[in-house]
Amino acid sequence: MSRLPTVNRDALPAEDQAIWDHIAAARSPQLGGPYGVLIHVPPLAQRVANLEDYFRLEAELSAIDREIVILAAVREAGAHYAWARHEARGNQVGVRPEAIEVLRAHGGLDGLTERERLLAEIPRALLRTRTIPNDLFQRALAELGRRQLIEVVTLTGHYALVGLLLTGFDVPPPEGAQTF
C-alpha cells in the first residue's frame, strides 16, 4: 500500500478530472503507479504525462530501445512497480528475453548485443556517477546520433523521477508481478 491515499476521480474539480481523463486515456483508468502519486497534484501530473506522451508518440528511439533504457533506469532506481510494467511492455514490443534477464540480474552486461549494452550503459553511468564517461559518450553519439542520445538521457532522467516517486511513496508492484 502506498503512503498516500487513493485519489477518487469524482472528488476532483472538473479541470482536474479533465487531466485525469487525459492521462487515463493512454494509460490505465485507475491511475496507479506513479500517477497514483502525481494525481495529488494534477497540473504536475499533466506535465509529467506530456513528457511521456513525447516518448510514446514523437521520439526517434524505437519502442525496443526505449524499453531497454527504461528497464536499465528503473532497475538502478529500485522501482519494482515500474520494472513490472516495463518488463511486460518490453515483452510486448519485442525486447529479447535474454536482455531483460541480464538487466534484472543487475550485474555485468554480458549477453547483450552491442546496441543493448550501449542503451543500458548510459542509464547506469548517469544514475551511478551522474555523468557519461567520454568514451561511452563518443560511442553513443556515433551509434545513436545527437537526437537519440538526448532522448536516452532525458528518458533516463524521467524514469529516475518515476523511480523516486515509486520508492519515496512506497508504491508496490502490481499484485503477483515478478520484479527483481
CATH annotation of 63-168 = 1.20.1290.10
Instruction: Give the residue carrying C-alpha cell 538526448.
Output: 150
Task: Quickly state the pLDDT bin for 178 (edges 50, 70, 90).
Answer: confident
Between residues 78 and 29, which one has the greater pLDDT?
Answer: 78
Residue 27 amino acid letter: R
Share of the chain above pLDDT 70, in %: 99
| pLDDT of 180 | 92
**Mean pLDDT for the stretch of residues 132-143:** 98
| pLDDT of 2 | 79
Between residues 27 and 162, which one has the greater pLDDT?
Answer: 162
- Domain ranges in the chain are 9-57, 63-168
pLDDT tens string 44-81? 999 999 999 999 999 999 999 999 999 999 999 999 99
User: In the predicted model, what is the mean pLDDT of the chain?
Assistant: 96
Q: What are the cell numbers at 71?
A: 528497464
Scored b (16 or more CB within 10 A) or e, 87-114 reads beebeeeebbeebbebbeeeeebeebee
| pLDDT of 1 | 64
